[in-house]
């Protein structure tokens, strides 16, 4: 599933930012709707097994925590590097566009670059974990998938108080983070009136994250 999702994910992300010239109104909305759904579905086919793998790598609680910590650390570094490069090289301010994010032609570059980088990262991640397959847990009495069984499992999980606390905590955190990310570009542009040369440096405001990467493995051991 991870291998199968790579190409659709890269192409759909590319298409989100490169609608056909002259497309307007309902046609433009339809293009956005279809490409975003395609990107989300493709991402789901990659992320679900990708996340599941982390819990199969080891039975040791502390080692699993270290693996997840490194996963997030590498993710942050990748996002930071890509964001800095995008604002610097794809959306720079110019005589024609004081705010580089208003340059429509720049998105025609951003689209394929984003799709290519994400697809490449997904491929490397998938291919480099193949060597772990012989060591993953194997269920010698697998059950056939059924929607009734899936519903039963979900209801069983919902009866677990610790799971519910974790679930709603993550849900609320995702709502806050998603809202902030969705409005961030508009706030930076129209309220703070920041140019790309200013916005690119905000990625380095990760002191809390760096501290968390250091502390979490230590705290989990206790």
Burial class (CB in 10 A: 0-12, 13-18, 19+), 106: buried
- Among residues 103, 109, 89, the alpha carbon closest in space to that of 17 is found at 109
Per-residue confidence (pLDDT) for residue 6, from 0 to 100:
96
- Among residues 111, 100, 81, the alpha carbon closest in space to that of 189 is found at 100
Per-residue confidence (pLDDT) for residue 16, from 0 to 100:
95
Q: Which two tokens stand for residue 138?
A: 């194997």
Q: Is 185 helix (H, G, I), strand (E, B) or coil?
A: helix
Q: Which two tokens stand for residue 113?
A: 């670059």
- pLDDT averaged per 10 residues in sequence order, the chain, 222 residues: 96 94 91 96 94 82 82 85 90 88 91 96 92 80 82 90 92 93 89 88 76 79 77
∠ Cα 124 48 160 (to 5°) = 140
Q: What is the pTM of this model?
A: 0.79
């Amino acid at each position: 599933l991870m291998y199968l999702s790579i190409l659709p994910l890269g192409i759909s992300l590319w298409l989100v930012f490169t609608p056909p010239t002259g497309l307007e109104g309902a046609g433009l909305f339809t293009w956005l709707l279809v490409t975003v759904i395609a990107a989300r579905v493709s991402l789901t086919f990659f992320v679900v097994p990708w996340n599941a793998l982390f819990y199969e790598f080891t039975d040791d609680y502390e080692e699993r925590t270290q693996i997840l910590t490194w996963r997030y650390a590498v993710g942050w570094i990748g996002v930071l590097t890509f964001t800095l490069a995008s604002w610097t090289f794809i959306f720079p301010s110019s005589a024609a566009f004081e705010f580089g994010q208003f340059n429509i032609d720049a998105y025609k570059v951003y689209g394929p670059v984003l799709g290519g980088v994400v697809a490449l990262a997904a491929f490397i991640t998938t291919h480099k974990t193949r060597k772990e397959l012989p060591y993953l847990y194997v269920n010698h009495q697998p059950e056939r998938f059924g929607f009734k069984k899936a519903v039963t499992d979900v209801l069983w999980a919902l009866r677990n108080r610790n799971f519910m606390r974790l679930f709603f905590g993550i849900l609320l955190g995702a709502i806050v983070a998603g809202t902030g990310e969705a409005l961030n570009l508009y706030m930076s542009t129209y309220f703070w009136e920041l140019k790309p040369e200013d916005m690119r440096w905000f990625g380095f405001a990760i002191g809390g994250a760096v501290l968390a990467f250091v502390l979490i493995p230590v705290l989990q051991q206790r």
